A and B are shown apart, each in its own frame.
Chain A
Protein backbone atom coordinates (compact mmCIF):
# COMPACT_ATOMS: atom_id res chain seq x y z
CA UNK A 1 0.00 0.00 0.00
CA UNK A 2 1.92 2.98 -1.17
CA UNK A 3 -0.13 5.21 -3.36
CA UNK A 4 -0.99 8.57 -1.82
CA UNK A 5 -2.94 11.23 -3.65
CA UNK A 6 -2.13 14.96 -3.53
CA UNK A 7 -4.92 17.31 -2.54
CA UNK A 8 -5.61 20.72 -1.04
CA UNK A 9 -6.72 21.10 2.58
CA UNK A 10 -9.94 23.08 2.70
CA UNK A 11 -11.14 22.64 6.30
CA UNK A 12 -9.92 21.46 9.70
CA UNK A 13 -12.03 19.89 12.46
CA UNK A 14 -11.81 17.59 15.47
CA UNK A 15 -13.30 14.11 15.72
CA UNK A 16 -12.93 11.86 18.76
CA UNK A 17 -9.94 13.94 19.85
CA UNK A 18 -8.16 13.61 16.50
CA UNK A 19 -7.35 16.52 14.19
CA UNK A 20 -9.23 15.83 10.96
CA UNK A 21 -9.42 17.62 7.65
CA UNK A 22 -11.37 17.88 4.44
CA UNK A 23 -9.02 17.53 1.48
CA UNK A 24 -10.04 18.54 -2.03
CA UNK A 25 -8.60 16.00 -4.45
CA UNK A 26 -9.39 17.33 -7.89
CA UNK A 27 -12.89 18.44 -6.91
CA UNK A 28 -13.71 15.41 -4.80
CA UNK A 29 -13.55 16.07 -1.07
CA UNK A 30 -12.21 13.34 1.19
CA UNK A 31 -11.75 13.17 4.95
CA UNK A 32 -8.26 12.66 6.25
CA UNK A 33 -6.67 12.50 9.67
CA UNK A 34 -4.19 15.39 10.10
CA UNK A 35 -2.42 14.09 13.22
CA UNK A 36 0.74 13.40 11.21
CA UNK A 37 0.81 16.88 9.67
CA UNK A 38 0.08 18.94 12.80
CA UNK A 39 1.34 22.22 11.33
CA UNK A 40 -0.73 22.07 8.16
CA UNK A 41 -2.83 25.13 7.30
CA UNK A 42 -5.93 25.42 5.17
CA UNK A 43 -4.85 26.08 1.59
CA UNK A 44 -1.75 23.90 1.78
CA UNK A 45 -1.32 20.74 -0.25
CA UNK A 46 -0.79 17.32 1.26
CA UNK A 47 -0.69 13.67 0.21
CA UNK A 48 -3.42 11.39 1.54
CA UNK A 49 -3.02 7.63 2.01
CA UNK A 50 -5.64 5.31 3.55
CA UNK A 51 -7.39 8.22 5.27
CA UNK A 52 -4.26 9.90 6.61
CA UNK A 53 -2.41 13.01 5.44
CA UNK A 54 1.27 12.07 5.49
CA UNK A 55 3.20 15.18 4.50
CA UNK A 56 2.74 18.84 3.64
CA UNK A 57 3.90 19.15 0.03
CA UNK A 58 6.91 21.40 -0.26
CA UNK A 59 5.49 23.73 -2.90
CA UNK A 60 8.61 25.86 -3.13
CA UNK A 61 10.76 22.83 -3.90
CA UNK A 62 8.25 21.54 -6.42
CA UNK A 63 8.10 24.91 -8.16
CA UNK A 64 11.88 25.17 -8.28
CA UNK A 65 12.32 21.71 -9.84
CA UNK A 66 9.57 22.32 -12.36
CA UNK A 67 11.16 25.64 -13.30
CA UNK A 68 14.46 23.93 -14.06
CA UNK A 69 12.71 21.43 -16.31
CA UNK A 70 10.64 24.09 -18.03
CA UNK A 71 13.78 26.08 -18.76
CA UNK A 72 15.33 23.01 -20.35
CA UNK A 73 12.25 22.59 -22.49
CA UNK A 74 12.34 26.26 -23.49
CA UNK A 75 16.02 26.03 -24.42
CA UNK A 76 15.31 22.92 -26.46
CA UNK A 77 12.41 24.63 -28.27
CA UNK A 78 14.59 27.65 -29.08
CA UNK A 79 17.35 25.45 -30.44
CA UNK A 80 14.85 23.60 -32.60
CA UNK A 81 13.45 26.89 -33.95
CA UNK A 82 16.96 28.12 -34.69
CA UNK A 83 17.73 24.91 -36.61
CA UNK A 84 14.52 25.21 -38.62
CA UNK A 85 15.28 28.82 -39.54
CA UNK A 86 18.72 27.90 -41.01
Chain B
Protein backbone atom coordinates (compact mmCIF):
# COMPACT_ATOMS: atom_id res chain seq x y z
CA UNK B 1 0.00 0.00 0.00
CA UNK B 2 1.73 3.11 -1.18
CA UNK B 3 2.40 5.71 1.50
CA UNK B 4 1.86 3.07 4.17
CA UNK B 5 4.18 0.10 3.53
CA UNK B 6 7.35 2.11 3.11
CA UNK B 7 6.65 3.83 6.44
CA UNK B 8 6.55 0.43 8.14
CA UNK B 9 9.99 -0.64 6.89
CA UNK B 10 11.60 -2.47 9.84
CA UNK B 11 15.09 -1.39 8.77
CA UNK B 12 14.06 2.26 8.91
CA UNK B 13 12.38 1.69 12.26
CA UNK B 14 15.60 0.17 13.58
CA UNK B 15 17.66 3.05 12.16
CA UNK B 16 15.44 5.66 13.78
CA UNK B 17 15.47 3.84 17.13
CA UNK B 18 19.28 3.85 17.00
CA UNK B 19 19.31 7.55 16.22
CA UNK B 20 16.94 8.24 19.12
CA UNK B 21 19.07 6.10 21.42
CA UNK B 22 22.20 8.03 20.39
CA UNK B 23 20.48 11.38 20.81
CA UNK B 24 18.97 10.90 24.25
CA UNK B 25 21.01 11.63 27.36
CA UNK B 26 18.34 12.12 30.05
CA UNK B 27 14.69 11.29 30.77
CA UNK B 28 12.02 13.06 28.76
CA UNK B 29 8.22 12.93 28.82
CA UNK B 30 6.53 13.35 25.47
CA UNK B 31 2.79 13.43 24.83
CA UNK B 32 0.77 12.75 21.74
CA UNK B 33 -2.75 14.19 21.52
CA UNK B 34 -4.28 12.05 18.84
CA UNK B 35 -6.15 8.81 19.35
CA UNK B 36 -5.01 7.52 15.99
CA UNK B 37 -1.39 8.01 17.03
CA UNK B 38 -2.09 6.41 20.42
CA UNK B 39 -3.37 3.29 18.71
CA UNK B 40 -0.48 3.23 16.23
CA UNK B 41 2.10 3.59 19.01
CA UNK B 42 0.56 0.80 21.08
CA UNK B 43 -0.19 -1.42 18.08
CA UNK B 44 3.39 -1.30 16.82
CA UNK B 45 4.89 -1.40 20.32
CA UNK B 46 6.81 1.81 19.71
CA UNK B 47 6.65 2.86 23.36
CA UNK B 48 8.27 -0.45 24.32
CA UNK B 49 10.98 -0.13 21.64
CA UNK B 50 12.06 3.36 22.68
CA UNK B 51 14.83 3.84 25.26
CA UNK B 52 13.41 3.58 28.77
CA UNK B 53 14.36 7.19 29.46
CA UNK B 54 11.69 8.35 26.99
CA UNK B 55 8.22 8.22 28.41
CA UNK B 56 5.38 8.50 25.91
CA UNK B 57 2.12 9.57 27.53
CA UNK B 58 -1.24 9.70 25.86
CA UNK B 59 -3.21 12.91 25.90
CA UNK B 60 -6.92 13.64 25.36
CA UNK B 61 -6.76 12.87 21.67
CA UNK B 62 -9.98 10.92 21.46
CA UNK B 63 -12.88 13.28 20.68
CA UNK B 64 -15.42 10.59 21.55
CA UNK B 65 -13.72 10.14 24.93
CA UNK B 66 -13.78 13.86 25.76
CA UNK B 67 -17.40 14.39 24.71
CA UNK B 68 -19.24 15.28 27.93
CA UNK B 69 -21.57 12.68 29.36
CA UNK B 70 -24.39 15.23 29.10
CA UNK B 71 -23.90 15.33 25.31
CA UNK B 72 -23.89 11.53 25.08
CA UNK B 73 -27.13 11.41 27.09
CA UNK B 74 -28.58 14.13 24.87
CA UNK B 75 -27.71 12.09 21.77
CA UNK B 76 -29.32 8.96 23.24
CA UNK B 77 -32.46 10.94 24.14
CA UNK B 78 -32.79 12.39 20.63
CA UNK B 79 -32.18 8.98 19.06
CA UNK B 80 -35.07 7.55 21.06
CA UNK B 81 -37.53 10.20 19.83
CA UNK B 82 -40.21 8.99 17.40
CA UNK B 83 -39.57 9.90 13.79
CA UNK B 84 -35.81 10.34 14.26
CA UNK B 85 -33.17 8.50 12.29
CA UNK B 86 -30.00 8.95 14.29
CA UNK B 87 -26.69 8.60 12.46
CA UNK B 88 -23.22 8.37 13.93
CA UNK B 89 -19.71 7.05 13.31
CA UNK B 90 -19.50 3.41 14.32
CA UNK B 91 -17.38 3.64 17.43
CA UNK B 92 -19.98 5.81 19.15
CA UNK B 93 -22.48 2.97 19.21
CA UNK B 94 -21.19 1.32 22.37
CA UNK B 95 -20.08 4.43 24.26
CA UNK B 96 -21.91 4.32 27.57
CA UNK B 97 -24.08 7.20 28.65
CA UNK B 98 -25.48 7.56 32.14
CA UNK B 99 -28.00 4.76 31.62
CA UNK B 100 -27.68 3.29 28.15
CA UNK B 101 -25.78 3.16 24.88
CA UNK B 102 -26.98 3.39 21.27
CA UNK B 103 -27.34 -0.39 21.04
CA UNK B 104 -29.81 -0.43 23.91
CA UNK B 105 -31.63 2.58 22.45
CA UNK B 106 -31.86 0.72 19.15
CA UNK B 107 -33.03 -2.47 20.84
CA UNK B 108 -36.05 -0.53 22.08
CA UNK B 109 -37.06 0.33 18.52
CA UNK B 110 -35.07 3.46 17.69
CA UNK B 111 -33.59 3.87 14.20
CA UNK B 112 -29.86 4.26 14.80
CA UNK B 113 -27.49 3.84 11.86
CA UNK B 114 -23.76 4.05 11.63
CA UNK B 115 -22.21 5.98 8.76
CA UNK B 116 -18.68 6.47 7.46
CA UNK B 117 -19.24 10.07 6.42
CA UNK B 118 -21.60 12.96 7.25
CA UNK B 119 -22.48 12.95 3.53
CA UNK B 120 -24.03 9.51 4.03
CA UNK B 121 -26.22 11.04 6.74
CA UNK B 122 -27.20 13.74 4.26
CA UNK B 123 -28.23 11.10 1.74
CA UNK B 124 -30.34 9.38 4.41
CA UNK B 125 -32.08 12.74 4.92
CA UNK B 126 -32.76 13.01 1.18
CA UNK B 127 -34.10 9.46 1.10
CA UNK B 128 -36.33 9.92 4.18
CA UNK B 129 -38.03 13.34 3.86
CA UNK B 130 -40.64 12.50 6.51
CA UNK B 131 -38.03 11.65 9.15
CA UNK B 132 -35.74 13.89 11.14
CA UNK B 133 -32.19 12.78 10.43
CA UNK B 134 -29.64 13.71 13.07
CA UNK B 135 -25.88 13.29 12.68
CA UNK B 136 -23.60 13.19 15.71
CA UNK B 137 -20.75 15.45 14.64
CA UNK B 138 -17.90 14.42 16.92
CA UNK B 139 -14.30 15.17 16.15
CA UNK B 140 -11.26 17.38 16.12
CA UNK B 141 -10.27 19.77 13.35
CA UNK B 142 -9.74 16.83 10.98
CA UNK B 143 -13.43 16.03 10.99
CA UNK B 144 -14.82 19.55 11.29
CA UNK B 145 -14.49 20.45 7.59
CA UNK B 146 -16.54 17.43 6.50
CA UNK B 147 -19.16 18.08 9.15
CA UNK B 148 -19.27 21.75 8.14
CA UNK B 149 -19.71 20.81 4.48
CA UNK B 150 -22.65 18.54 5.34
CA UNK B 151 -24.40 21.33 7.26
CA UNK B 152 -23.70 23.85 4.51
CA UNK B 153 -24.92 21.44 1.85
CA UNK B 154 -28.10 20.76 3.83
CA UNK B 155 -28.74 24.51 3.89
CA UNK B 156 -28.05 24.81 0.15
CA UNK B 157 -30.45 21.99 -0.70
CA UNK B 158 -33.05 23.09 1.84
CA UNK B 159 -32.91 19.73 3.64
CA UNK B 160 -34.91 20.91 6.62
CA UNK B 161 -35.06 17.41 8.09
CA UNK B 162 -31.26 17.23 8.56
CA UNK B 163 -29.44 18.47 11.63
CA UNK B 164 -26.12 17.88 13.36
CA UNK B 165 -25.36 17.53 17.05
CA UNK B 166 -21.96 19.14 17.35
CA UNK B 167 -19.28 17.93 19.74
CA UNK B 168 -16.30 19.41 17.96
CA UNK B 169 -13.14 20.19 19.91
CA UNK B 170 -9.82 21.88 19.13
CA UNK B 171 -6.35 20.60 19.94
CA UNK B 172 -4.23 23.71 20.75
CA UNK B 173 -6.42 24.80 23.71
CA UNK B 174 -6.10 21.28 25.12
CA UNK B 175 -2.32 21.57 24.86
CA UNK B 176 -2.45 24.86 26.72
CA UNK B 177 -4.65 23.34 29.43
CA UNK B 178 -2.23 20.46 29.92
CA UNK B 179 0.84 22.71 29.98
CA UNK B 180 -0.84 25.11 32.41
CA UNK B 181 -1.67 22.40 34.89
CA UNK B 182 0.41 22.59 38.09
CA UNK B 183 1.13 18.85 37.92
CA UNK B 184 2.17 18.89 34.27
CA UNK B 185 5.13 16.66 33.41
CA UNK B 186 4.92 16.89 29.61
CA UNK B 187 8.03 18.42 28.02
CA UNK B 188 7.29 18.01 24.32
CA UNK B 189 4.46 17.09 21.95
CA UNK B 190 3.79 15.04 18.90
CA UNK B 191 1.04 17.06 17.23
CA UNK B 192 -1.84 15.35 15.45
CA UNK B 193 -0.77 15.08 11.82
CA UNK B 194 -4.14 15.25 10.14
CA UNK B 195 -5.42 18.00 12.42
CA UNK B 196 -2.42 20.00 11.20
CA UNK B 197 -3.24 19.06 7.60
CA UNK B 198 -6.38 21.15 8.04
CA UNK B 199 -5.23 23.91 10.39
CA UNK B 200 -1.61 24.33 9.42
CA UNK B 201 0.95 25.18 12.06
CA UNK B 202 0.15 28.78 12.98
CA UNK B 203 -1.82 27.95 16.14
CA UNK B 204 1.08 25.93 17.52
CA UNK B 205 3.85 28.53 17.35
CA UNK B 206 2.42 30.63 20.21
CA UNK B 207 1.90 27.50 22.34
CA UNK B 208 5.51 26.45 21.80
CA UNK B 209 6.77 29.93 22.58
CA UNK B 210 4.59 30.61 25.63
CA UNK B 211 5.30 27.30 27.32
CA UNK B 212 8.79 26.69 25.97
CA UNK B 213 8.15 23.29 24.40
CA UNK B 214 8.93 21.56 21.12
CA UNK B 215 5.88 20.58 19.08
CA UNK B 216 6.32 18.24 16.12
CA UNK B 217 3.40 17.35 13.81
CA UNK B 218 3.62 13.63 13.21
CA UNK B 219 2.07 11.01 10.96
CA UNK B 220 0.65 7.65 11.91
CA UNK B 221 3.02 4.99 10.66
CA UNK B 222 5.98 3.73 12.72
CA UNK B 223 8.60 5.56 10.64
CA UNK B 224 6.61 8.81 10.81
CA UNK B 225 6.08 8.54 14.57
CA UNK B 226 9.67 7.64 15.38
CA UNK B 227 10.99 10.38 13.09
CA UNK B 228 8.83 12.83 15.02
CA UNK B 229 10.01 11.46 18.38
CA UNK B 230 13.59 11.86 17.16
CA UNK B 231 12.97 15.51 16.27
CA UNK B 232 11.34 16.19 19.65
CA UNK B 233 14.25 14.52 21.48
CA UNK B 234 16.84 16.43 19.46
CA UNK B 235 15.10 19.70 20.28
CA UNK B 236 14.77 18.80 23.97
CA UNK B 237 18.44 17.79 24.19
CA UNK B 238 19.46 21.06 22.54
CA UNK B 239 17.13 23.15 24.71
CA UNK B 240 15.22 24.28 21.62
CA UNK B 241 11.56 25.14 21.44
CA UNK B 242 9.23 25.73 18.51
CA UNK B 243 7.41 23.79 15.82
CA UNK B 244 9.19 21.42 13.44
CA UNK B 245 7.16 19.59 10.81
CA UNK B 246 7.82 15.85 10.60
CA UNK B 247 4.90 15.09 8.28
CA UNK B 248 5.67 17.33 5.33
CA UNK B 249 4.06 15.18 2.68
CA UNK B 250 0.61 16.20 3.97
CA UNK B 251 1.15 19.03 6.44
CA UNK B 252 1.92 22.52 5.23
CA UNK B 253 2.43 25.64 7.30
CA UNK B 254 -0.84 27.24 6.15
CA UNK B 255 -3.06 24.14 6.18
CA UNK B 256 -6.11 23.75 3.97
CA UNK B 257 -7.53 27.21 3.25
CA UNK B 258 -10.73 25.93 1.65
CA UNK B 259 -11.51 23.71 4.62
CA UNK B 260 -10.81 26.52 7.10
CA UNK B 261 -13.14 28.84 5.16
CA UNK B 262 -16.08 26.43 5.29
CA UNK B 263 -15.40 25.66 8.95
CA UNK B 264 -15.46 29.37 9.72
CA UNK B 265 -18.68 29.83 7.77
CA UNK B 266 -20.52 27.10 9.66
CA UNK B 267 -18.89 27.07 13.10
CA UNK B 268 -17.80 29.59 15.70
CA UNK B 269 -15.36 29.01 18.53
CA UNK B 270 -16.94 28.40 21.93
CA UNK B 271 -16.00 27.20 25.39
CA UNK B 272 -16.32 23.44 25.71
CA UNK B 273 -16.47 20.97 28.55
CA UNK B 274 -13.99 18.11 28.10
CA UNK B 275 -15.04 14.97 29.90
CA UNK B 276 -12.56 14.20 32.61
CA UNK B 277 -10.91 17.61 32.33
CA UNK B 278 -13.53 20.31 32.71
CA UNK B 279 -14.23 23.50 30.79
CA UNK B 280 -11.47 24.65 28.47
CA UNK B 281 -12.03 28.16 27.16
CA UNK B 282 -12.47 28.57 23.41
CA UNK B 283 -11.75 24.90 22.82
CA UNK B 284 -14.75 23.84 20.78
CA UNK B 285 -16.87 24.64 17.77
CA UNK B 286 -20.53 25.59 17.91
CA UNK B 287 -22.85 25.82 14.93
CA UNK B 288 -23.39 29.48 14.04
CA UNK B 289 -26.77 31.17 14.42
CA UNK B 290 -27.25 31.39 10.66
CA UNK B 291 -27.31 27.58 10.53
CA UNK B 292 -29.46 27.23 13.67
CA UNK B 293 -32.11 25.30 11.76
CA UNK B 294 -29.52 22.53 11.27
CA UNK B 295 -28.35 22.48 14.89
CA UNK B 296 -29.85 19.50 16.68
CA UNK B 297 -28.98 20.99 20.06
CA UNK B 298 -31.31 23.92 19.34
CA UNK B 299 -33.85 21.86 17.42
CA UNK B 300 -34.65 19.11 19.92
CA UNK B 301 -35.88 19.76 23.44
CA UNK B 302 -34.46 16.92 25.54
CA UNK B 303 -35.57 18.34 28.86
CA UNK B 304 -33.31 18.26 31.91
CA UNK B 305 -30.39 15.84 31.75
CA UNK B 306 -28.68 14.68 34.94
CA UNK B 307 -25.47 12.90 33.89
CA UNK B 308 -24.27 10.08 36.12
CA UNK B 309 -20.62 9.10 35.77
CA UNK B 310 -19.40 5.63 36.68
CA UNK B 311 -17.70 5.74 40.07
CA UNK B 312 -15.15 3.17 38.89
CA UNK B 313 -14.15 4.83 35.61
CA UNK B 314 -10.82 6.69 35.75
CA UNK B 315 -10.94 7.98 32.21
CA UNK B 316 -10.27 11.55 33.32
CA UNK B 317 -6.82 10.60 34.61
CA UNK B 318 -6.15 8.52 31.49
CA UNK B 319 -7.12 11.41 29.21
CA UNK B 320 -4.80 13.80 31.02
CA UNK B 321 -1.92 11.36 30.66
CA UNK B 322 -1.43 10.84 34.40
CA UNK B 323 -2.68 7.28 34.51
CA UNK B 324 -1.73 4.50 32.13
CA UNK B 325 -4.81 2.45 31.19
CA UNK B 326 -3.54 -0.83 32.60
CA UNK B 327 -3.03 0.83 35.97
CA UNK B 328 -6.77 1.39 36.33
CA UNK B 329 -8.19 -1.20 38.78
CA UNK B 330 -11.15 -1.85 36.50
CA UNK B 331 -9.06 -2.39 33.36
CA UNK B 332 -9.81 -5.75 31.79
CA UNK B 333 -12.05 -6.68 34.71
CA UNK B 334 -15.23 -4.64 35.14
CA UNK B 335 -14.23 -2.60 32.09
CA UNK B 336 -13.75 -4.25 28.71
CA UNK B 337 -14.65 -3.20 25.16
CA UNK B 338 -17.85 -5.27 25.34
CA UNK B 339 -18.86 -3.81 28.70
CA UNK B 340 -17.09 -0.45 28.93
CA UNK B 341 -17.35 1.83 31.94
CA UNK B 342 -16.20 4.81 29.88
CA UNK B 343 -15.54 5.92 26.35
CA UNK B 344 -11.74 5.31 26.24
CA UNK B 345 -12.32 1.55 26.46
CA UNK B 346 -14.68 1.44 23.50
CA UNK B 347 -13.79 4.28 21.17
CA UNK B 348 -11.61 3.46 18.19
CA UNK B 349 -9.26 6.18 19.40
CA UNK B 350 -9.41 5.52 23.13
CA UNK B 351 -6.19 4.74 24.98
CA UNK B 352 -7.83 2.03 27.11
CA UNK B 353 -9.15 0.31 23.99
CA UNK B 354 -5.67 0.39 22.46
CA UNK B 355 -4.07 -1.15 25.54
CA UNK B 356 -6.77 -3.81 25.77
CA UNK B 357 -6.71 -4.66 22.08
CA UNK B 358 -2.93 -4.97 21.97
CA UNK B 359 -2.86 -6.86 25.28
CA UNK B 360 -0.80 -4.55 27.38
CA UNK B 361 -0.14 -6.18 30.74
CA UNK B 362 -3.74 -6.73 31.76
CA UNK B 363 -4.44 -9.42 34.20
CA UNK B 364 -0.77 -9.48 35.16
Which residues in A have their C-beta under 8 angstroms from that of B143?
A: 1, 49-50
Q: Which residue of A lies closest to B157 (CB)?
A: A16
Contact (Cβ within 8 A) B197 A1? no
Binary interface profile of A, 15-58, with partner B (CB < 8 Å = 1, else 0)? 01110000001100000010110100000010101111011011
Interface residues of B in 197-216 (CB under 8 A from A): 197-198
- Chain A CB within 8 A of B104 CB: no
**Of A8, A16, A36, A52, which is within 8 A of B117 by CB?**
A52
Q: Kindly provide the distance from the CB of A28 to the nearest chain B CB, expressed in whole angstroms.
A: 10
Q: How many B residues face the partner with a CB closer than 8 A?
A: 48
- Chain A CB within 8 A of B241 CB: no
Docked Cα-Cα span, A1 to B140, in Å, equals 6
Which residues in B have their C-beta under 8 angstroms from that of A17?
A: 153, 156
Which residue of A8, A33, A50 has the most chain B CB atoms within 10 A of its CB atom? A50
- Chain B CB within 8 A of A11 CB: no
Docked Cα-Cα span, A66 to B116, in Å, equals 32
**Of B3, B35, B249, B259, which is within 8 A of A36 by CB?**
B259
Contact (Cβ within 8 A) B157 A2? no
- Chain B CB within 8 A of A61 CB: yes
Which interface class (under 10, 10 to 19, 20 to 34, 35 or more) fits A?
A: 20 to 34
Contact (Cβ within 8 A) B3 A4? no
**Of B11, B37, B249, B256, which is within 8 A of A58 by CB?**
B249
Assess A54 versus B198: contact at CB under 8 Å? Given A1-B138, A62-B3, A69-B15: yes
Which residues in A have their C-beta under 8 angstroms from that of B61?
A: 2
Assess A36 versus B153: contact at CB under 8 Å? Given A1-B349, A3-B194, A76-B15: no
Q: Kindly provide the distance from the CB of B103 to the nearest chain A CB, expressed in whole angstroms.
A: 20
Docked Cα-Cα span, A69 to B19, in Å, equals 12
Docked Cα-Cα span, A66 to B153, in Å, equals 40
Docked Cα-Cα span, A19 to B257, in Å, equals 17
Contact (Cβ within 8 A) A61 B249? yes
**Of A50, A52, A58, which is within 8 A of B248 by CB?**
A58
Contact (Cβ within 8 A) B37 A2? yes
Q: Which secondary structure characterizes the binding site on chain A?
A: mixed
Which residues in B have their C-beta under 8 angstroms from that of A47?
A: 194, 197, 250
Which residues in B have their C-beta under 8 angstroms from that of A61?
A: 248-249
- Chain A CB within 8 A of B68 CB: no
- Chain B CB within 8 A of A72 CB: yes
Contact (Cβ within 8 A) B259 A54? yes
Contact (Cβ within 8 A) A8 B250? no
Assess A54 versus B149: contact at CB under 8 Å? Given A2-B349, A66-B6: no
Docked Cα-Cα span, A54 to B248, in Å, equals 14
Assess A54 versus B249: contact at CB under 8 Å? Given A36-B256, A36-B259, A76-B15: no
Assess A55 versus B250: contact at CB under 8 Å? Given A3-B36, A47-B197, A49-B194: yes
Contact (Cβ within 8 A) B89 A1? yes
Docked Cα-Cα span, A26 to B193, in Å, equals 21
Contact (Cβ within 8 A) B4 A1? no
- Chain A CB within 8 A of B119 CB: yes
- Chain B CB within 8 A of A65 CB: yes
**Of A6, A35, A72, which is within 8 A of B3 by CB?**
A6
Docked Cα-Cα span, A57 to B197, in Å, equals 10
- Chain A CB within 8 A of B317 CB: no
13 extra A-B contacts, CB within 8 A, seeds A3-B36, A35-B262: A1-B139, A2-B194, A6-B1, A26-B1, A33-B146, A36-B259, A36-B262, A47-B197, A49-B146, A50-B139, A51-B120, A52-B117, A54-B198
